[in-house]
Structure 1
Amino acid sequence: MARNRGRIGIIVPSSNTNLEPDCALLTPPGITLHFTRVGGYDVDGIPDGEEMRHFASQSLSAALDLLTPADVDFIAYGCTSATLASGPEFDQRFQAEITAKTGLPAVTAAGALVEALSTLEVSRIAFTSPYVAQLNLESIAFLSECGIEVVNHVGVGRDISSREQGLLTPDDAYELGRRADHSQAEALVISCTDFRALEALTALERDLDKPVVTSNQALMYASCVRLGLDTSAIKAGGRLFVEHSPKARD
């Protein structure tokens, strides 16, 4: 298979073990993925809003210097909570700074969630994540500023570390999704790039009969939009990929 249709560069938090395999499941033929990792947070600590804002403030220069020599066409920033905790204005500046430093288009996972919901034409959602309660509320405030109403939300019910988030199972994601769902929600959002939510997406869309958006799915969809790629055959991407292929929108 030819490898000449595009290269996506992805910045991954150092403890994240689920973003890369999810992206592999969502990659169109001929596209290659190129990853670099960033630290600057306590992987065994509890990632609250303050910790995530501190993480978002870390320089990406070293990571970008390692990534851009791969001649990538696009850069995706793979931590949702870092910019959710920092607000939409920060998120937009953050994306713009990556572009200014590299000359390449960029998107954050948080920005990709908002774009995905816009594509689906939904404004009322149910929300869940493995975040601490305070960070969930900051995420809801971010979405509200973007015109998205969260009609119900649930968390895991305990504070867990960044490393523990990655150890949650697809069954955990499914259970949280079912608990978060609400009759007034037009879609379900499951946030966090280190949460195995993608593997629960198909079952949740079937059982809830509504679109489900996960951080990793949204991040890869936004990448495919920028590159004008056909996503309609990627069933793992759910309704967003199959029914809203960027190629079909041309």
Structure 2
Amino acid sequence: MTALGFLYPGHFAEDDYPRIEQLLGSDIRVDLVHTGIGEDAYRLEALRGTGAVDQLARSVEGLRLSGAEAVVWASTSGSFVHGWEGAHEQVRALARAVGMPASATSFGFVHAVREIGVRRVAVAATYPEDVTALFADFLRAGEVEVAAAHSAGSRSAEQVASWGEPEILALARAADTPRADAVLLPDTALHTASHIAALEKDLGKPVLTANQVTVWEALRLTDRRVNAPGLGALFSREPIVQV
């Protein structure tokens, strides 16, 4: 049994995690601990507060007691808004606090892009343009080429947590471009676990979504590789057929 720990901000799309655990179909346990978010707003000041190290450190005791072998801060924007170096320091501080390997969803995207072997990506972001631009900068700092970036202009996690497959497909299509080898949906407040296969079929290319990438990053930290085609190209070696 491999136990994976996640610090998830608030209560928005956390039901993606038991769904992903089910789709993994293996001896993987997913343990989620909720952190406070303060103000639910996609503004830089609010997002930086969400990922404050002292706030994360207060939430880690439950993960230690769960027997988790690695922990991932399950917030993309609560990481990349600190910049490449700031996000590294956030993760180092989290690792010290929890006493186990640690990472964040934002780094998971960089590692996942490398894993699937693509060069250029399109970013399909729920965020306002200034927040999306910081994620694109973060990816570039990780040597990921950003071919396009689309901002939906949403103002809060609560707003996007209500989106279903039609809205998520529309977001991905709006960002996609023939120059992109994959499409990234960076918001962990989006319910995407049940829609990855449909997204990849519709776009004809790999799609990386935040909660999918978060769980994959925790598995990477524990040196586990799991084949789960229902979770898309990141979890499968099967080619995607263009339709």
Same fold? TM cut 0.5: yes
Summarize deviations over 1:70-99 as a string: whole Å, max 9, x none.
121111111110111111111211111121
RMSD in angstroms over aligned alpha carbons? 1.8
Question: Counterparts of 1:34 and 1:189 in 2: how far apart (Å)?
Answer: 24
Unaligned 5+ segments in structure 2 are 239-243
Map 1:1-250; keep pairs closer than 5 Å.
5-18=1-14, 19-43=16-40, 46-59=41-54, 60-156=56-152, 158-232=153-227, 234-243=228-237
Structure 1 counterpart of 2:28, which letter? I
1:208–1:159 Cα change, 3 Å: closer
Shift of 1:123: 2.5
CA contact (8 A) 2:5 2:70 kept: yes
Q: Distance in 1 between matches of 2:34 and 2:90?
A: 17
Who is 1:248 aligned against?
none
Cα distance, 1:116 vs. partner?
0.1
Distance 1:58 1:100, change over 3 A: closer
* 1:152 positional shift: 1.3
Which letter does structure 2 place at the counterpart of 1:164? Q
With normalisation by structure 2, the TM-score equals: 0.90
Contact kept in structure 2, 1:22 and 1:216, CA below 8 Å:
no
- Partner Cα separation in structure 2 for residue 160 and residue 22 of structure 1: 26
Name the CA shift for 1:141/1:22 in 2 (closer, same or farther; >3 Å): farther
How many angstroms does 1:197 deviate by?
Answer: 2.8
Residue by residue over 1:49-90, the C-alpha shift from the partner in whole angstroms, topping out at 9 and shown as x without a partner, is: 221112212512220122211121111111110111111111
SS in 2 for 1:218: helix
Count, aligned residues? 236
Closer, same or farther: CA 91–136 of 1 in aligned 2, 3 Å: same
Contact preservation (8 Å) 1:178, 1:204? no
Calculate the TM-score normalised by the size of structure 1.
Answer: 0.87
Q: Distance between the aligned counterparts of 2:23 and 2:81, measured in 1?
A: 26
Distance 2:76 2:22 in 1: 19
Offset at 1:21? 4.1
Q: Identity of aligned pairs, percent?
A: 21
